[in-house]
Amino acid sequence: MGASAVVWFKRDLRLADHAPLREAARLGDAVALYVVEPAWVGSAECEAQHLEFARRQVLALRECLGRRGLPLLVRWGSLPEVLAGLRSAYPFTHLLSHEETGPQWSYDRDRAVARWCREAGVIWRQWPQKGVIRGLRERAGWAARWQGRMDARIEPAPARWRGAGGLPIGEWPDARIRQAGHGAARELPAAGEAAAHDTLASFLDVRGQRYRFDISSPSSAVRACSRLSAHLAFGALSVRQVHQATEARIAALQAVGDAEARSFAYHLRGFSARLRWHCHFMQKLESEPQIEWRNVARVCDGLREQAFDRERFDAWRTGNTGYPMVDACMRCLNATGWINFRMRAMLVSFAAYHLWLHWREPGLHLARQFLDFEPGIHWSQMQMQSGTTGINTLRMYSPARQHADHDPRSEFIRRWLPEYGTAAYVRPIVDERAALHLARQRLYTLRRTPEARREAAEVQRRHGSRRGGLPPTRRRAGAGRVRDADPAQRELPFDDAGRA
Ligand SMILES: Cc1cc2nc3c(=O)[nH]c(=O)nc-3n(C[C@H](O)[C@H](O)[C@H](O)COP(=O)(O)OP(=O)(O)OC[C@H]3O[C@@H](n4cnc5c(N)ncnc54)[C@H](O)[C@@H]3O)c2cc1C
């Protein structure tokens, strides 16, 4: 019997830079498969917007693959169940997919798939699609390996597959999704590979011109940021594609060499560094999946868990804390599914320090709101901004300072908080000075203990990156470049403008 393959799509919904698709064309007969998993649909992080965004991409991809002879089947169910059903009609020999760094349910699912493949005699091959390294014991050398992956040649997508015919194509399981309690999705940005490429092009051609200056204000960031995060999270673009397009653009701008081009290149280098952060933060969850629900620094266990105040949480979650910048950002996020990095950090800092809320519930709320929810980045950032990693300097954002710096005319606030400045606006739910004093006292007291210091060294070894891991050419490129290239070296604090 010849080889026959199933290409299993997950968060890699694209045709280009897709190793499993290339391997399927080489092997023999093939079908592609996307499974809407009850474990995802029912998870606390999943929202209607995520399902709808995935649906649009899967259907666009189905058309595109169909034109090249590869049917994309859609199924509802757990993976072993779906694979077993498919195999009874189509006796495939290989399952081909990308590695995924996801929440616990996806780890459990992967274990079940591995077991099923062993028992069924199916060969499961997985490829990395990011700079995340599976089975990594130590961070030393990570950055050089990231660089190697990002610079690897992008092979062209196959022109045709030998698609296996006669299998029911399967419709998107709308009724099941509704049964699981999901309503209509909010308005979404354009989805799919073509839309992702358009977004990248408009950023590299024009929008990125003032990137470093304009990404901190929630008003200017909407345009100045790349807005690629959801496309990267669902895999309409690979990090490698974005990296290579950015480096090519920087080289072209440098070749032009006038002041305007040099300035543009400088801004794009700030952006380029963030692609490394993407994988750097994901690596933490890959290496330690428990950080989804457990403190990175175990000395922080018990610090906030018992103090969870649901009224405060509800006020934060709905944008009713009486702190205008916090409330406007939350309402903007809840309405649109996106807010910039600085304001995400401020929202979490407010929950963690002003309201003394443990990060897990706020993290779930944000995960549902962020269209770009990426578990590895998300949980690592939640813990970093909440002060539970043991190694990052505590960064307590003042909402008033963020208001003065990034919305001095209160335009953003008035847009999202119509009652601002009227008697209808709620009074502050906590006293900022007292709350921050208490938070500092609790955390600094804890951090000074020998146990906390010992653990910090261990966390640094596991999750902090190293200067020495950078390739020599980049190390020579200057201190600023090195810091940008590897922001978490020694895990010093860094902000969204790339400053330590
Ligand atoms: C508490 C918190 C939770 C977050 N959760 C997520 C999440 O679930 N998914 C997500 O993609 N980003 C998350 N971020 C990081 C960051 O805020 C978003 O990536 C960014 O705002 C997305 O917009 P953009 O694509 O226009 O960003 P750009 O500024 O254009 O950045 C380009 C890309 O670089 C990566 N990136 C940028 N900043 C960071 C960062 N600080 N850490 C890691 N990668 C970064 C992202 O992939 C982003 O798409 C979180 C940040 C915080 C503080």
Tracing tokens 């459990």 back to the chain, one arrives at 108
**How distant is the alpha carbon of residue 228 from its chain centre?**
10
Residue 1 confidence (pLDDT): 61
Residue 475 confidence (pLDDT): 38
Give, for ligand 1, the residue of 210, 216, 272, 341 to mutate: max count of ligand atoms closer than 8 Å to Cβ: 341
Chain segment 133-168, per-residue pLDDT in tens:
999 988 888 999 999 999 999 999 999 999 998 999
How far is residue 57's CA from residue 451's CA, in Å, rounded to a whole number? Answer: 48
Residue 2 confidence (pLDDT): 82
How far is residue 106's CA from residue 39's CA, in Å, rounded to a whole number? Answer: 8
Cβ 353 vs Cβ 441: under 8 Å: no
Q: Judge whether residue 488 has pLDDT over 50.
A: no
Cβ 393 vs Cβ 492: under 8 Å: yes
Using DSSP bridges, classify how beta strands 72-76 and 29-36 pair: parallel, antiparallel or unpaired.
parallel
Protein residue closest via CA to atom 2 of ligand 1: 381
**What is the band of 495 on the pLDDT scale with cuts at 50, 70, 90?**
very low
How many A from CA of 225 to the centre of ligand 1?
10
Contacts of 161 (CB under 8 A, 6+ apart): 21, 24, 25, 30, 65, 68, 69, 70
Residues forming beta bridges with residue 72, ordered by sequence position: 32
Residue 473 confidence (pLDDT): 36
Dihedral (Cα; 326, 331, 334, 336), 10-degree rounding: -110
How far is residue 174's CA from residue 188's CA, in Å, rounded to a whole number? Answer: 17
Residue 483 confidence (pLDDT): 31
User: What is the b/e burial string over 56-65, where b = at least 16 CB atoms within 10 angstroms of the residue's CB?
Assistant: bbbbbbbebb
3-state secondary structure of 123: strand
Residue 294 confidence (pLDDT): 96
Q: Judge whether residue 481 has pLDDT over 50.
A: no
Q: Quick one: average pLDDT of 391-418?
A: 95
Is 44 exposed, middle or buried, given 0-12, 13-18 or 19+ CB atoms closer than 10 A?
Answer: middle
How far is residue 85's CA from residue 83's CA, in Å, rounded to a whole number? Answer: 5
Chain segment 52-94, per-residue pLDDT in tens:
999 999 999 999 999 999 999 999 999 999 999 999 999 999 9
**Could you give phi then psi for residue 155, rounded to 5 degrees?**
-75, 145
The separation between the first and the last C-alpha atoms of the chain, rounded to the nearest angstrom, is 59
Residue 465 confidence (pLDDT): 60
How many A from CA of 374 to the centre of ligand 1?
9
Q: Quick one: average pLDDT of 345-353?
A: 98
Domains of the chain: 4-129 (3.40.50.620), 133-155+193-287+469-500 (1.25.40), 290-465 (1.10.579.10)
**Structure tokens, 480:** 């600023």
Per-position DSSP letters for 276-296, written without gaps between them: HHHHHHHHHHHH-GGGGTS-S
Dihedral (Cα; 488, 492, 498, 500), 10-degree rounding: -160
Ligand 1 atom nearest 345 alpha carbon? 53
Q: Report the percent of the chain where pLDDT is more than 70.
A: 93
How many A from CA of 340 to the centre of ligand 1?
8
**Closest among 262, 64, 268 to 158, alpha carbons compared:** 64
Residue 140 confidence (pLDDT): 84
The alpha-helical segments, DSSP class H, found in 68-141 are 79-89, 104-120
Q: Quick one: average pLDDT of 465-475?
A: 43
**CB count, 10 Å around CB of 407?**
21
**CB count, 10 Å around CB of 91?**
11
Amino acid at 256: V
How far is residue 11's CA from residue 13's CA, in Å, rounded to a whole number? Answer: 6
Cβ 190 vs Cβ 470: under 8 Å: no
**What is the band of 297 on the pLDDT scale with cuts at 50, 70, 90?**
very high
Residue 498 confidence (pLDDT): 33
How far is residue 8's CA from residue 96's CA, in Å, rounded to a whole number? Answer: 6
Ligand 1 pocket, residues with Cβ under 6 angstroms:
215, 225-229, 232-233, 271, 274-275, 277-278, 281, 340-341, 344-345, 348, 370, 372-374, 377-378, 381-382, 385
Q: Judge whether residue 474 has pLDDT over 90.
A: no
Q: Report the percent of the chain where pLDDT is more than 90.
A: 87
Chain segment 230-278, per-residue pLDDT in tens:
999 999 999 999 999 999 999 999 999 899 999 999 999 999 999 999 9
**Could you give phi then psi for residue 486, rounded to 5 degrees?**
-145, 75
Tracing tokens 């701008």 back to the chain, one arrives at 253
**Structure tokens, 26:** 């080489």
**CB count, 10 Å around CB of 16?**
16
